[in-house]
């Protein structure tokens, strides 16, 4: 056990010496990998910050049935009763909003008060607001009901009020798939970069490896420093990527916060949680070690 620990310590010291022997090349590789690894981190920061906002929004569609302007006051109530009767298993609540109530609500808003005061009569129709129950294929069922109700007598238009929330969720799903694809591409780049770095190191140390084999060095002893090289390169690049992403979020948050405050809200981008960041660092180190293992196996057969 003691001998094995000494061998690992020797391999680590050799790896650090090789880093120090070529500081410019090592730093260039680390910076390139760090910038590449920072891209999925920034994408994850956007998704992680936006998802709670979308989750807090109501994703249950509300259908608003607008009656024709010439429809009687009892027509909206009849439509509400028909909706309750025919779709009781899918409807959570149904409420009628008379045109007078809708007009009064707009008059209470200073932005609409002057405009409505210039109108001779009430231009608003009666409306029926229907809240649907949650379930499978909610958006499809809401669209089907909106199309059917729009054909009823004295109904002028049916509006799906929460359709934009469904679209936003679909956009987030697309973003998550795109982020996974970006992460796979980044992993391939990390593998290729570490592979070439280790290959160049192996070719540079070709004579040293040959001498070590002549004096009885095992394959594990020969390859171990290269494995440390790959693992340390991946780990250091991931740590630099987290630092770079954190620095990049500062000016972005300044712009985002100004935009959010103009809408009366508070919003900021932030990196994923510490466990997620730790997993990324670990994954980068493992990828580096695996790539180094593959490279040194192919490059030291001489």
d(CA 113, CA 103): 10
Q: What angle do CA 243, 247, 253 make, to 5 degrees?
A: 135
Tokens of 226: 């290269």
Measured distance CA(152)–CA(201) in Å, rounded = 77
**Which of 113, 128, 161 finishes a domain?**
161
Q: What is the pLDDT of residues 214-268, one digit of tens each?
A: 666 666 666 777 788 888 888 888 899 899 888 888 888 777 777 666 655 567 7
Q: Where are the alpha helices (DSSP H) in the chain?
A: 2-21, 23-56, 73-86, 99-107, 110-117, 138-149, 163-204, 206-214, 219-262, 274-299
The pLDDT of residue 302 is: 46
Question: CATH code at 97?
Answer: 3.30.70.3040
- Smallest CA-to-CA distance from 295 within 239, 229, 208 is with 229
* Domain membership of residue 76 as a residue range: 62-161
Domain finish residue from 161, 196, 220:
161
What pLDDT shows up at residue 177? Answer: 82
pLDDT at 33 over 80: yes
Averaged pLDDT, 46-73: 73
The verdict on 172 and 234 lying in the same domain is: yes
Verify that 40 and 170 share a domain, yes or no.
Answer: yes
Spatial separation of the C-alpha atoms in residues 241 and 285, rounded to whole Å:
13
Query: What percent of the chain has a predicted confidence (pLDDT) above 90?
Result: 1
Whether residues 52 and 175 fall in one domain:
yes
Same domain, 18 and 148: no
Number of structural domains (the chain) is: 2
Q: pTM score > 0.85 for this model?
A: no
Residues 21 and 170 in one domain: yes
Among 7-11, 153-157, 255-259, name the one with the lowest average pLDDT: 7-11
* Cα–Cα distances in angstroms (integers) from residue 261 to residues 254, 264, 265, 266, in the given order: 11, 5, 5, 6
Both 203 and 260 in a single domain? yes
- Cβ pair 210, 302 in contact under 8 A: yes
Residue-level pLDDT at 160: 77
pLDDT at 18 over 50: yes
- Closest among 171, 138, 150, 128 to 58, alpha carbons compared: 138
Are 111 and 145 in a shared domain? yes
pLDDT for 217 equals 62
């Amino acid at each position: 056990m003691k001998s094995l620990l000494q061998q690992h310590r020797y391999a680590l010291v050799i790896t650090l010496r090789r880093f120090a022997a070529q500081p410019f090349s090592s730093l260039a590789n680390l910076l390139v990998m760090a910038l590449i690894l920072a891209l999925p981190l920034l994408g994850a920061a956007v998704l992680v910050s936006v998802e709670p906002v979308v989750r807090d929004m109501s994703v249950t569609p509300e259908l608003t049935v607008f009656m024709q302007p010439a429809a009687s006051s009892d027509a909206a109530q009849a439509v509400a009763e028909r909706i309750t009767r025919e779709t009781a298993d899918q409807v959570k609540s149904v409420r009628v909003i008379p045109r007078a109530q809708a007009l009064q609500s707009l008059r209470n808003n200073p932005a609409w008060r002057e405009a409505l005061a210039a109108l001779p009569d009430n231009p608003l129709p009666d409306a029926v607001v229907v809240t649907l129950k949650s379930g499978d294929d909610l958006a499809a069922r809401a669209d089907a009901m909106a199309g059917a109700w729009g054909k009823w007598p004295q109904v002028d238009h049916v509006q799906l009020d929460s359709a934009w929330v469904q679209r936003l969720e679909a956009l987030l799903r697309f973003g998550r798939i795109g982020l996974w694809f970006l992460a796979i591409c980044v992993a391939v780049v990390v593998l290729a970069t570490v592979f070439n770095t280790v290959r160049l190191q192996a070719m540079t140390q070709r004579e040293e490896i040959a001498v070590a084999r002549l004096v009885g060095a095992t394959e594990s002893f020969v390859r171990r420093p290269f494995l440390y090289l790959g693992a340390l390169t991946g780990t250091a690049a991931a740590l630099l990527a987290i630092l770079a992403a954190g620095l990049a979020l500062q000016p972005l948050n300044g712009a985002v916060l100004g935009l959010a405050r103009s809408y009366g809200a508070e919003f900021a981008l932030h990196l994923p949680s510490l466990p997620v960041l730790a997993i990324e660092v670990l994954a980068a180190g493992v990828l580096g070690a695996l790539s180094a293992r593959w490279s040194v196996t192919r490059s030291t057969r001489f």
